[in-house]
Amino acid sequence: MIGYVTLGTNDIDKAVNFYDQLLATIGAGRFMETEQFVAWATGPGAPGISVTKPFDGEKATVGNGNMVALEMDSPEKVDAFYQKAIELGATCEGKPGPRGEFSGFYAGYFRDLDGNKLNAFHFAMPSE
């Protein structure tokens, strides 16, 4: 259902460097690029994530309550992705681990260099 998600940035070069390195850890590469916008995906037809300087020329700001959730195929990949984000300068919003009442839901939360909130998660459906 989701085609791509766009995050605002005030420093496109810094943001692109961060996401080039972070998203490479899950096999994502650039698929669209202009001077103001870069998008990554894991393959043709897969949902993407992008960064952009705001079209209106105003400063990019963080949306309160907005978050991008990136699905991983194991808790170990959640840990590795989260750790890479932190190594690249992201700030912790919740270390990886099981979350709340959702059996099988494992996630780590962080903010990118512009303050956008993301999480890496794995959800193992309970056996019936």
The bridge status of strand 105-111 relative to strand 48-52 is unpaired
Whether 128 is covered by a domain: the verdict is no
Is residue 88 domain-resident?
yes
CATH of residue 108: 3.10.180.10
CA 103/CA 13 separation, integer angstroms: 39
pLDDT for position 107: 96
At residue 127, does pLDDT exceed 70? no
What's the chain's average pLDDT?
A: 93
d(CA 81, CA 71): 10
Band of pLDDT at residue 126, cut at 50, 70 and 90 = low
- The CA R_g of the chain, rounded to the nearest whole Å, is 15
Q: Is residue 81 part of a domain?
A: yes
Helices (H), the chain: 12-24, 75-87
Question: How far apart (Å, rounded) are the C-alpha atoms in residues 30 and 116?
Answer: 19
Question: What pLDDT does residue 128 have?
Answer: 41
How would residue 104 be classed by pLDDT, with cut points 50, 70 and 90? confident
Give domain status of residue 58, yes or no.
no
Q: What is the pLDDT of residues 38-50, one digit of tens each?
A: 999 999 999 999 9
Per-residue model confidence (pLDDT) at position 42: 97
Q: What is the pLDDT of residue 60?
A: 94
pLDDT of residue 13 exceeding 90, the answer is yes
106: amino acid identity, one letter: Y
Query: Average of pLDDT values for 29-46?
Result: 95
Higher-pLDDT residue of 5 and 124 is 5
Domain holding 84, by residue range, is 4-53+66-123
Judge whether 22 lies within some domain. Answer: yes
pLDDT value at position 21?
98
72 occurs within a structural domain: yes
Q: How far apart are the first and last CA of the chain?
A: 27
Does a structural domain hold residue 61? no
The model's pTM: 0.89
Q: Classify residue 35: in a domain, yes or no.
A: yes
User: How many structural domains compose the chain?
Assistant: 1
pLDDT of 89 strictly over 90? yes
